Structure 1
Amino acid sequence: MAKKHVKYYGVDAFTETAFKGNPAAVCFLEEDKDDEWLQSLAAEFNVSQTCYLTPIHGTSIPRFGLKWFTPIVEVNLCGHATLAASHILFSSDLVNNSVIEFVTLSGVLTVKKIPSIDVVGVPNLLNGKAPPVGFYIELDFPAYYPITKLYHDDISIIDEALNGASIIDMKRTEFADDLLVVLTSGKIVLEVQAQFDALAKLSGRGVSVTGIAPPESGFDFYSRFFSPKFGINEVSD
């Protein structure tokens, strides 16, 4: 029996320029594959996230199974790869609907296609410029992650891992076992020179570093995420 080809796309999220932003591989499967095969292909692509879409038939709203893999491990949730998958489905007319549902390890995620003319306040977000012709993608993700206690060893490591950046607060999320570190400003967030060897010693998956953005930026906050333990030094989710 001839082997079936896997259709895939390479997508750069959060950018309008090729080879910038955060890359993701989006693979379309006709049937489920075993996790070893999925992981091997993700390692072959060797980008921060490879996601796999498998159609689920017989539903009124288009549904797909969605799984995410870094080069070394499967993860429960990934924002930029979900955005990339949604972009391909909408822009390639692979779905005839403005709503898609993804069945994932984090539950059912809903994605909406919104024409740019319907987006309120976009000129302000784009520094006064008119929104480009096309569409926007709205992701409905879990918003609440219970906070749990910090590990003493993590507290002692984080200062070294963030190269002495000024920390206001630090929490640990129960769901993904990530550290959330609040710095004194968004400017400091951009300037952080993370020590990846030290970050890899932390107990959880990774570290999200955030701070209030400058008023003139048009954003509420800046955020960076580091997860060298999962094969991703930095990911722009």
Structure 2
Amino acid sequence: MRIRIVDAFTDRPFSGNPAGVLLLEGGTFPAAERLQEIAAEVNLSETAFAHPLPPGGTADWALRWFTPVAEVDMCGHATLATAHVLHTTGLATGPVRFTARCGILSATAHPDGSLTLDFPTSPLSEEPVPYGLADALGGDPVSVHGTGEHIGDLLVELRDEAAVRALAPDFAALATHSRRGVIATAAAEDPARGYDYVSRGFFPGVGIDEDPVTGSAHTALAPFWSARL
């Protein structure tokens, strides 16, 4: 058994968001309990497990993700890490299609070595601000949106970029407000700096107080901000 550690969303070692990647032989996953034990031992925010599928189907690889304490339905950076391993080991040469709990995901490699992920957008539904959320998060929400069943987060808009950067959540309390986590976001103070919005992702309910970079969160952030900016 060989586990690879890949730093996603970066071109520098020891930065970005590290993920474990384990490519399995054969056409099935071990028991979920064993996968969870491995992820706990790796002890990164997510560990991806993938096995090849027979040719000619709708996907090339089956993919699952585990935090140290729970399985999750979608994970961006560990998918990117898995695609990187498949391409750098020669197991994939073109677009790679994964089948996962959240549906079919794809990754395309480019000549410069970069990868593009194609994920479905998450449906957004505005909700009342839950009682106690402001205290748990450490900031006053402007609006709160649910993000659908696959990521199961609360997307919380704050008044400005400074408010997002200043958050110091009560993680035990925050864990009670979402199945997976809470995404805090605000418009950029100065879009001339090269970004349109800021965000932070908190996932204490699945063992990750704050994730360095959360790719799957952008399946909700992108449609949220594209309608506003």
Name the TM-score class by shorter chain: 0.7 to 0.9
Query: 1:62 deviation in Å?
Result: 7.1
How far residue 91 of structure 1 moved from its aligned partner, in angstroms, is 2.6
For 1:158-177, list aligned pairs within 5 A.
158-163=133-138, 165-175=139-149, 176-177=151-152
| Residue 169 of structure 2 is aligned to residue 191 of structure 1 | no
- Residue 28 of structure 1 is matched in structure 2 by 23
Please list every run of 5 or more consecutive structure 2 residues that lacks an aligned counterpart in the other structure.
215-229
Contact kept? 1:62, 1:95, Cα under 8 Å: no
Q: CA deviation at 1:149?
A: 4.2
Asked if 1:211 corresponds to 2:186, the answer is yes
1:4-42 CA distance string (max 9 Å, x none): xx2221011122332222111000100321111101100
Q: Aligned to 2:34, what secondary structure does the other structure show?
A: helix
Q: Is the 8 A contact 2:74 2:102 kept in 1?
A: yes
| Structure with bigger gyration radius | 1
Q: Distance in 2 between matches of 1:170 and 1:148?
A: 6
Cα deviation for residue 109 of structure 1 reads 0.7
Superposition map of 1:10-89 within 5 A:
10-31=5-26, 32-59=29-56, 63-89=60-86
After superposition, the C-alpha distances for 1:165-195 in whole angstroms (9 at most, x for unaligned) are 2422111223133111011223322222222
1:227 aligns with 2:227: no
- Alignment length, in residue pairs? 209
Q: Equivalent pairs: percent with the same residue?
A: 37
8 Å CA contact 1:7–1:29 kept in 2: the answer is no
- Whole-Å separation in 2 of the counterparts to 1:192 and 1:26: 31
Normalised by the size of structure 2, how large is the TM-score? 0.84
**Aligned counterparts of 2:86 and 2:103: Cα–Cα separation in 1:** 20
SS of 2:165's equivalent?
helix
Relative contact order, CA 8 A, sep 6+: which one is greater?
2
After TM superposition, give the deviation of residue 146 of structure 1 in Å.
Answer: 4.3
Question: What's the C-alpha RMSD, in Å, of the aligned pairs?
Answer: 1.9
1:107 aligned residue: 103
Deviations 1:113-162 (A, max 9, x none): 123xxxxxxxxxxxxxxxxxx22211111113242645xxx622211122
The letter of the residue matching 2:116 is E
Q: Which letter does structure 2 place at the counterpart of 1:66?
A: L
Whichever structure has more strand as a proportion of its residues is 1
